[in-house]
Amino acid sequence: MSYEATAGRLRIPPDTRRLIAQLQARAQRAVLLSLPSGEPRHYLYDILPNYPVRSGKGLRPVLCLAACQAYGGSYEAALPFAAAIELLHNAFLVHDDIQDGSSERRGRPALHVEYGMPLALNAGDALASVASAAAVRAARDLPAPVATAVLEGWERMTLETIEGQALDLGWQRDGVTDLTELDYLAMCGKKTAWYTTIEPLAMGAVIGSAAPWREAETFDFGWLLGLLFQLANDIDGLRAPPGMNDIDEGKRTLVLIHLLGAIEGEARAEVVRIMELPRGERSDDQVAFVLGEMERAGSVDYARDCLLELAAAAWRSADETFGPLPPGPGRDILLASTSYVFERSGLASWATWR
């Protein structure tokens, strides 16, 4: 797909854009209102809103709310689940930052830097527990088969994410460098797509239609959109400053996998040596060397081409999946969601865009 064709699809109708922002704000309120309070405030309950109030992309709740509306339900019906997914996301972020030894999250110190690792880990446990309890409670208002489908979806989503995280962390721990593109996509599907796109869409569709079997309907699109989201993040992560860069952190990305398949000899051996170092032990020079090799081997271009292909597939899948639904604001959002992910990734304005 050419840049022009892509750029043409990138436009999001102003009404849809406004509605997305409204739903994000609404979900954000629901998230904050769903957080319990009480004692101990200082060591626990004051910490819980810390990540949720730092504004994120808010993609997950919007997909869930839009799918529910598009499949015949109300935003209200999906709201507690949309908020619960966002809370679970924040729980994952807290633990992820501890696991990665990240110093920052969204421009502020990571939670474990602010409160110490033990209390941050504990707050992450609280967020995960509050999230799943909120889903269990909200499911009581649904017809029994719908409730069962939604809670089974919740369980699968949580475990898939943890499986993906295990792969990502394990590869980093062992300095694994013999990964294929398929390994990478399988890991992303689990670690990111399942809870970012697949299950938010499926839950919304099931709640909106009150038909458990419709959860399968949005799967393909959810998968593509989730991969697009992660790939965009990975390309973006290469532009981060030294010390917060994905190479620094030892992340296995599609760009890196391409590089290892594209070069040979001493340069490849050097890249392998660098990527096998434990996290945090790569020097700025070494990171710059890997980045340089990536540019030279065309790995960044390759990943960008993949991104365009994924976007084209996602647009097609959205048209097929949501085209037959009755027109309405939820459907408009789902049809525009690929552009939204593309746009928020920052790639549309990237200087090296071709």
Query: Which residues here bind a copy of itself, judged by CB under 8 A?
Result: 36, 38-40, 42-44, 95, 98-100, 116-119, 121-123, 125-126, 128-130, 132-133, 136-137, 140, 148, 151, 154-155, 158-159, 162-163, 165-167, 169-170, 172-173
Give residue 140's identity as a one-letter amino acid code: R
Least separation, in Å, of the C-beta of 83 and a copy of itself?
A: 16
Q: How far is the CB of 168 from a copy of itself (least distance, A)?
A: 9
How near is the Cβ of 112 to a copy of itself at its closest, in Å? 11
Residue 207 vs 263, nearer CB to a copy of itself: 207
- Shortest distance (Å) from residue 87 CB to a copy of itself: 13
Q: Which is nearer to a copy of itself, 185 or 307 (CB)?
A: 185
Long-range pairs of 259-268 with CB within 8 A, sequence gap ≥ 24: 259/290, 259/293, 259/294, 259/297, 259/299, 260/177, 260/178, 260/179, 262/297, 262/298, 262/299, 262/302, 263/293, 263/297, 267/293
The answer to whether the bond into 40 is cis (omega within 30° of 0) is yes
d(CA 133, CA 330): 27
The minimum distance between CB 253 and a copy of itself, in angstroms, equals 17
* Residue number, 24 or 230, with CB nearest to a copy of itself: 230
Number of other residues whose CB lies within 10 A of the CB of residue 148 = 13
- Give the dihedral of Cα atoms 233, 237, 240, 246; nearest 10 deg: 150
Q: Give whichever of 207 and 307 is closer to a copy of itself, judged by the CB atom.
A: 207
Q: Which is nearer to a copy of itself, 38 or 265 (CB)?
A: 38
